[in-house]
Structure 1
Amino acid sequence: MIKMRTLTEQDFDEAIKLSEYAFQYKVSNEDYERRINMLKSHEIWGEYEDEALISKLHILHMQINIGNKLFEIGGVAGVATYPEHRRKGSVSRLLRQSLLSMKERGQTISLLHPFDIAFYRRFGWELTASVKKYTLEKKDLFRYPDGPGRIMRFGKDEGNDVLNTIYEQWFEKYNHMLVRRNDTWWNHHVFTDGYNRVVYFNENNEAEGYLCCKAADKLLDVQEMVYVTEAARRALWNFIAQHDSMVDKVKIIAPNDDQLPFLLQNPRITQETHPYFMARIVDVEAFLKQYEFENITRPITIAVTDKQCSWNNAAFQIGPGGVTPGDSSTGLTMDVGTLTAVLLNAVPAAVLYETGQITGPREDLNALVSAATKKPVCFIDFF
């Protein structure tokens, strides 16, 4: 008999064993207690057959920014099933339960890192965040003239307040960024496995940029390069360039709107746009009421379809007076994933309209685009 329930602390050992098997890693004895403590902050749903765990899904309770507001999100992670129980609908049931649970907690949007984009599109998630991956050769590492300020290293688990101050200034120009206001996230999700904390301070001793990087095996791996001034960008780049006697290659992960190649003396480097994270609105009505629409001069009606969440199958009118029920026979029509992509500014709405994913009057689409956030999407975390 199949039963679904939330896992308790007594079940965490089973959850870890399933993750080890599904994701093919081993939690060391030294790391086991930390892993148990981390799971205490997760909401974990599992399916059981004859009291044995067969599949699970974790929900992380976090926040992201959209426009100028913070939204409560449910981050879906750790989705795993033992092979003998796959393709029997277990993960589908867990995903539907996760959406219901998030709605009940007031989490109006959800993010996840997909193992298969097409699979999660079936459940309403849509690709919203990509990253750029650069590979540079030693010959690409030119240096700028030295400027004012200094580079400082912080030790393991040090400087989180300084790093977070820089990060939160930087993320104001983006949508979709994860709030990182706790030491656990900085220490165990951002800086892991020997990555260095390298911070740039200006001449007034103000922190304006940082690197998360590691040099090993003739490679400098830069996982994050965050800066809020041009002086910080140049100083951090010079720090990277100073590794020319140590490494043969440099790999850098950057936001999708990053323009590093243009700034190089030879822009013909290896670069890849990597589809990364997906999002989906969990509760359309609540999300629309929280969302900051601008320049609403006339009502816009959006009829939403959602195959997984019946509560979202409705028409909503967005007007100067707020969000109210709408008439589904007028206005725009789109599914929940498309609506997510439009309101996060993840995909140009004109592309979605021209390819038939949005239907309705073009003037209504133009009005919606005018009212939605203009900030680009960025997501550089992982869970």
Structure 2
Amino acid sequence: MSRRHMQDRLRLRQVEPRHGEQFNDLLRYVFQVTDRDLQTFGWENREIAQSKLPILRHADVLGWFDGDKLISQLAVYPFQVNVFGHIYEMGGLTGVGTYPEYANRGLMNKLMLHALSHMRDRKQSISYLYPYSIPYYRRKGWEIISDKLTFEVQDTQLPKLRSVPGNVERAAIEHPDIKTIYDHFALQTHGAMLRNELAWEEYLRWDLDDMTAAIYFDGDDQPTGYLLYWVAEEVFYIKEMIFLNEEARTGLWNFISAHFSMITRVKGSIFKDEPLAFLLDDGDIKETIAPYYMARIVDIRMFVEQYPFQFQERDSTLVFKLHDPMLEWNQGTFMLTVDCSGKGRLDEGGTNPSASFDIPTLTTMLMGYKRPAYLSKIGRFQSDQASVHLLERLIIRERPYFSDYF
């Protein structure tokens, strides 16, 4: 059948719970998840289909259909993230895929346009995603905003036990104190996701059955830190370590070190520029850093209305041009005004712009992943030096933390 006739058959519409089996089949094909993979993690096909039903009920799932057959799809999860202490509605883009026989027809581009429009309608002014192709998503307006640092510590390099007033208790991963600790952590950590039930389900979806938790309780018996971990073949694997203060961090590492006779090494990941090697007596450890999550501003005016700029001695103004490869409402010349309290306002228009950005560059800059001076130096945007210095003063100096996966 001709390309034109096939195109006439295609329809874009919502993917509903009744399409759950097709939704899963497409995901498994695109990401090459085999039956052996599923068995490794203790999942049966029936269980996977059931586990995806909440997504299809609570997420915004869009797809192209060829008749009744789902042939291209994406999902937007309703999440929230902390941006410098302000809670933003965030659209989490995932489940992106198209069967290869329908590729190169612009189907995904149209799906993304619809998804981004829906995010804007839902006041989700920023979107996160895990990139399976960084160049592809950069062309669509996303940019890297967080890193994942994977480390390996030998048993002989484990920190020596240090006295703390509290103690660690092992618990099931469903223990309510874990969510309580994480909620406190997320509310004080820039970039972090505030995990709703869907976020927790996605975060723990593919974990082994033998994963357990260790919770640190301080001297007043208050939970202030936790580990999610498992031990296999003499390796202590850390999925997540969350602590609200240095005491809890020390207490959790005491617990890890207490496994000295059982393990040969510890493997885990850090999602912020924490100096783990510096904190160890023997800092000659193996560390690997890689880009992790990407983000894009969905609506620049909406984003700036909430954004907390640094306090200033006087009001500041910046006129700039903005380019977005997909969204017309992010195109044009804008005037940013920031008052002494750090409250910003963005108006369309302005004369003599002194800077020019694309939306990926502006996203990573405002999220604090890369500084304005660095981005200007490597040619990611054009600006005079006065505007670069202004942006350096306006943007809080803190890199984002993001440890979730969806």
* TM category, shorter: over 0.9
Residue 128 (structure 1) aligned to one of 142, 145, 150: 145
- Which residue in 1 is equivalent to 2:28? 20
2:214 corresponding residue in structure 1: 198
Counterpart contact for 1:190–1:381, Cα < 8 Å: no
Residues 132 and 258, structure 1, Cα contact 8 Å, conserved in 2: no
Residues of 2 paired with 1:66 and 1:22: CA distance? Answer: 32
1:165 aligns with 2:180: yes
Quick check: 23-32 or 37-46, which moved more? 23-32
Q: Deviations over 1:170-198 (max 9, x none)?
A: 3345321100143x543552483232121
Taking the aligned partners of 1:310 and 1:133, their CA distance within structure 2 comes to 39
Taking a change above 3 Å as real, the CA distance of residues 37 and 330 of structure 1, as seen in their structure-2 partners, is closer
Query: Runs (4+) of structure 1 moved beyond 4 Å?
Result: none
SS in 2 for 1:170: helix
Q: Deviations over 1:236-291 (max 9, x none)?
A: 00111122222222111112311110111221111011210000001111111221
Asked if 1:315 is matched to 2:343, the reply is no
Q: CA RMSD in A?
A: 1.9
The one-letter code matched in structure 1 to 2:268 is: I
Map residues 110-189 of structure 1 onto 2, 5 A cutoff. 110-159=127-176, 162-182=177-197, 184-186=198-200, 189=203
Deviations, residues 11-58 of structure 1 (Å, cap 9, x unaligned): 122101111222233561234323223331111111112331111101
| 1:72 pairs with 2:93 | no
1:8 is aligned to: 16
Is structure 2 residue 100 aligned with structure 1 residue 83?
A: yes
Q: Answer with 197-206 or 99-108: which moved more.
A: 99-108
SS in 1 for 2:260: helix
CA distance in 1, matches of 2:405, 2:247: 28
Tell me, in whole angstroms, the C-alpha distance in 2 between the residues paired with 1:332 and 1:197. Answer: 49
Question: Which residue of structure 2 lines up, in the alignment, with residue 369 of structure 1?
Answer: 392
Q: Deviations over 1:323-352 (max 9, x none)?
A: 222326322110001110111101121111
CA deviations over 1:62-94 (Å, ceiling 9, x no partner): 110111211111100011122222233222222
**Alignment equivalent of 1:301, drawn from 319, 325, 343:** 319
- Does the residue aligned with 2:194 lie in a helix, a strand or coil? coil
Question: TM-score when scaled to structure 1?
Answer: 0.94
C-alpha separation in 2, matches of 1:325 and 1:157: 48
Q: Distance in 2 between matches of 1:326 and 1:144?
A: 60
Map 1:239-278 to 2 at 5 A.
239-278=255-294
SS in 1 for 2:174: coil
- Give the structure 2 partner of residue 208 of structure 1: 224
Q: Is the 8 A contact 1:76 1:110 kept in 2?
A: yes
Q: Which letter does structure 1 place at the counterpart of 2:203?
A: H
Q: Which ranges in structure 1 are unaligned for 5 or more consecutive residues? A: none
Change (3 A) 1:9 1:187: closer
Return 332-341 or 189-198, whichever deviates more.
Answer: 189-198
- Which position in structure 1 is the counterpart of 2:57? 40
Q: Which range moved further: 188-197 or 310-319?
A: 188-197
Residue 123 and residue 328 in structure 1: after superposition, are their counterparts in 2 closer, same or farther (change >3 A)?
farther
1:100 to 104, 117, 125: 117
Distance 2:195 2:78 in 1: 12
Cα distance in 2, alignment partners of residues 307 and 186 from structure 1: 32
In 1, distance between residues paired with 2:234 and 2:317? 59
For residues 115 and 392 of structure 2, what CA distance do their matches in structure 1 show?
30
CA pair 90-328 structure 1, distance change in 2 beyond 3 A: farther
Matched position secondary structure for 2:22? helix
**In 1: Cα distance, 2:386 partner to 2:148 partner:** 32
Contact 1:173 1:375 in 2 (8 A): no
Contact (CA 8 Å) 2:224, 2:248: kept in 1 or not? yes
Identity over aligned pairs, percent: 28
Residues 154, 197 of structure 1: 8 Å contact kept: yes
How many residues are aligned here? 380
Which of 288, 293, 298 does residue 282 from structure 1 map onto? 298
Q: Which runs of 5+ in 2 are unaligned?
A: 1-8, 36-42
Contact 1:316–1:323 under 8 Å retained in 2: yes
Q: Distance in 2 between matches of 1:38 and 1:323?
A: 35
Report the Cα distance in structure 1 between the residues aligned to 2:345 and 2:99, rounded to whole angstroms: 47
Alignment partner of 1:60 out of 55, 58, 77: 77
Deviation per residue, 1:276-316 (Å, 9 max, x gap):
00000011111112212232622112211011101110222
TM-score with structure 2 setting the length: 0.89
Measure, in 1, the Cα distance between the counterparts of 2:70 and 2:145.
32
Equivalent position amino acid for 2:303 in 1: F
Secondary structure at the aligned position of 1:273 is classed as: strand
